[in-house]
Every structure is written in C-alpha cells, then in structure tokens.
Amino acid sequence: MEKITSGDFASPEMMRDFIAFYKRLAGQQEPLYRLDDFFGMGGAWVAFRHDDVATILKDPRFVKDMRKFAPSQVQRESDQEIASASKFMEWTKRMPNMLMADPPDHTRLRRLASKAFTPRKIEDMRPRIQQIADELLDAVQERGRMDLIADFAYPLPITVISEMLGIPAADRDRFREWIRKFWNASLDDPNQADTVGEVLDEFTEYFKALLAEKRAHPGNDVTSGLLQAHDKGDQLSENELLSTIWLLMLAGHETTVNLIGNGTLALLQHPEQMRLLRSDPSLLPSAVEELLRYAGPVMIASRFASEDIIMHGKEIRKGEMVLVSLAGANRDPHQFSNPEALDITREENEHLAFGKGIHQCMGAPLARLKGQIVFGTLLQRLPHLRLAVAPEQLTYHRNTMRSLTSLPVLF
C-alpha cells in the first residue's frame, strides 16, 4: 500500500476526495499510523479511530504545551529551512494561549476567556447574527449569483468576531488579509515561513496599539474585559493576552467560514437532504451536527506524549507528537452507521468536530448558533440555490483545514 505522508493531510486533492483518503487511512493494518515527519516538526503517530481519538483527547498524559515536549526539530530557531508550520509553533511557544497550554495555565486562561461565551451572551447575539446574514444576502440578491465564500462565508464571521473583540469596522479588511496570508502559507514551504512571521508580527503590533486605546477608552467588548483582567493582576500576562485575542480571532472566524462553505457544498451535492431541510426547518439543529460530522473544517489536532505510553502494542515515547484525525474519527463505521452518507436526521451523532476533553472548543455553542442561522437563512431566502460550476472545478487551499478557495453559486 502506498505510504501516507504529512503532505497528504493538507493536499487539495485529498480535500476534494476526503472520503477516499480516510478510507485509505482506515485501511492501514495498524490502528496507529507512523509518519516519518510532520511538516518539518519530526515524526508523529496518527490515530484515526473514533475510540482512540476520543481517548487521547481526554487522556491528561497527552498534552498541548510544546515548550515542554516539542520535538527537537521545532526548537531549531536558527534553522533557515524552517517551515511555516514550525514558525507558527515557535511563536506560540513565546505567546501561549489556552489552546497550547496545559493545566493549571489552561484552566486559568480558559476561565478568563469563557466569560464571553456564556449561554446567555451567545443567545443575545442571535438577532445581530441574523441581521448580518440578511444584509449580506441583500447585497447580492439582485445579481442572482455570488461567490459564497467571498460574499457571505468570509464577511459574516469576521464581522461577528470583530464586534465581539471591539475591532473597528475600518480595520476588518486588514484582519481578513492577515488571515488569508496565514492560511494560504504552505505548511511545508520554508519560503513562506517569513510570510507567517510577518503576519504574526503585524498582528502583535496592531493589538498592542489597540490595547493602549482600550485602556484609555474601554468598551463592552471581549478585548476590554481581558485587558481589565490583566490590569487587575488576574494572572494574565501581556503575551497571554495578545495570544488569546489571536486565538479567538482565528478560531472564531476561519472555522465558521469553512463550516459554511463545506456545509453548503455538501447540501448542494445532496439535493434530497437540502430539500428535506428546506421543507422542515426544525431539522436545523440536527442538520448542523451532521454537517459538522460530515464536512467539519478541522481535520486533525495535535498532542504530545508527556511520558512513555503504550497503545495497541506500540510505544509512544515521551515528547513524541500524536496527531488525532477528527475527520477520520467522524467517518468510523464502528461509531456511525453508513458514515459516508450525509443524513441530516441522524440521531446518534457523537462526532468529534469540536474535539473532546478539556480542550473541547469553547466556541462550539456560538458555532452551532451561526450554523443554524446561516443554513436556515440561505435555504429560506435562496430557494433556487445551486452550483455555478462543476464540482470538479472547485479548488481547496493547501493546509490541514478543509477550506474552499471559492464557491460560485447561482440562485
């Protein structure tokens, strides 16, 4: 059987036919697959069965803090051949956030950030998210066509997260460009590592200036709240503050963009499911869960072994990277009946699109709310929604998140 490499996990070809790739991965004789190298960061183990992925995500022996257990390749800060993936990992070592931290730091950072994601605060956002969705469709309604990514999927979440963070509307295009450059940088291309570094540096300088403005004129936004916690000595360093804002911006935007894009494409390619959802909006909650399982944007997550661990007879050595394939777990036939089918009425749907354990996505309730509003609004307002190009003409970015470059549609 042809050997799987790290490049396969980010290739546009895999994204286009991800079902075939994960059937190939699941067809490996061993439940843990060994990669010789993961984008210049050293060797890694890959878990792709649902039970294994859930177990690893909940096991405190598998940790996130690469400052303690990063492979030696990641620590070569003077290496001129460092890939963009390693460049980002270097930055996160200096700028820790809750996604890259373990308890007790993780507990402290998550507690501070979670104040913005209480059930009441999220539900209070419903009218504003609906307004944004309607205004974006108003702008393209008479044209009868749009690029769903550029005209709808990108601007909606960037507006939502920018308003949450208190970023001025005039600066949102700058953030969109930073995010575009960051995600378009090939993970294994040393020539693009500088681009990643420049984006992170520009972001850091921008937010240092914004924090100064928020100190002088605090608002009712997440950034002001985190800043006040920092200034009151609530154990939040400035680097942690900046990195937390970066994480909220990136996670609060890019994942939603791709849930909207991938989810809409999945519905367009399964017209019977789209008709069913349009005729019965009460299915929106279960439809969003199924789209998260079937077309969720986050394909893999990483952990490090904090000690020698035996799994399936294999020794995972202390400090080794372990990749958990969320997409593979969400297609495990031992967990889901007929996993290759899109079924918006699926009742038993313990998908892992948001992860599991202490690092389970804090913004999951907000993502679900946005998904329900977006798909409900698209189907209600655009009854003749259809692809403007053949599916094989669609292209994907080269990264580990399933991300369409565009999605031309007619309506």
Please work out, in degrees rounded to the nearest 5, the angle formed at the alpha carbon of residue 21 by the alpha carbons of 15 and 25. Answer: 140
pLDDT one-digit tens code per residue, 9-22: 888 888 888 888 88
The DSSP secondary structure of 349-402, one letter per residue, reads ----TT--GGGS-TTHHHHHHHHHHHHHHHHHH-TT-EESS-GGG--B-SSSB-
CA–centroid distance for 301 within its chain: 10
Which residue(s) pair with 33 in the sheet?
46
- Rounded to whole angstroms, the Cα distance separating 404 from 397 reads 6
Which residue(s) pair with 408 in the sheet?
147
- Rounded to whole angstroms, the Cα distance separating 61 from 54 reads 13
Strand, coil or helix: what is 101? coil
Q: For residue 145, give Cα distances in angstroms to 40, 50, 151, 164, 349.
A: 42, 39, 10, 30, 34
pLDDT one-digit tens code per residue, 363-388: 999 999 999 999 999 999 999 999 99
- Rounded to whole angstroms, the Cα distance separating 186 from 168 reads 30
CA dihedral angle for residue 12, residue 15, residue 17, residue 23, rounded to 10 degrees = 120
pLDDT over 90 at 305, yes or no: yes
Whether residue 300 contacts residue 323, with contact meaning beta carbons closer than 8 Å, is answered with yes
**What is the pLDDT confidence band of residue 87, given thresholds at 50, 70 and 90?**
low
Strand, coil or helix: what is 43? coil
Count the residues in the chain.
Answer: 411
The DSSP secondary structure of 164-180, one letter per residue, reads HHT--GGGHHHHHHHHH
At 128, the amino acid letter reads: R
Neighbours of 3 (CB within 10 A): 8
Task: Identify which of 270, 288, 255 has the alpha carbon closest to the alpha carbon of residue 371.
Answer: 288
pLDDT over 80 at 190, yes or no: no
Query: What are the residues whose beta carbons fall under 8 Å from the beta carbon of 39, sequence distance 6 or more?
Result: 6, 10, 83, 85, 86, 187, 188
CA dihedral angle for residue 303, residue 309, residue 314, residue 318, rounded to 10 degrees = 60
Quick one: average pLDDT of 240-260? 90
Neighbours of 214 (CB within 10 A): 20
What is the pTM assigned to this prediction?
A: 0.90
Q: What is the DSSP letter of 221?
A: S
Domain ranges in the chain are 6-410
The mean predicted confidence, pLDDT, of the chain is: 89
pLDDT one-digit tens code per residue, 309-337: 999 999 999 999 999 999 999 999 999 99
Strand, coil or helix: what is 260? helix
Strands 386-387 and 321-325: unpaired
User: May I ask the CATH class of domain 6-410?
Assistant: mainly alpha
Whether residue 102 contacts residue 56, with contact meaning beta carbons closer than 8 Å, is answered with no
Cis peptide before 271 (omega within 30 of 0): no
pLDDT at 77: 41
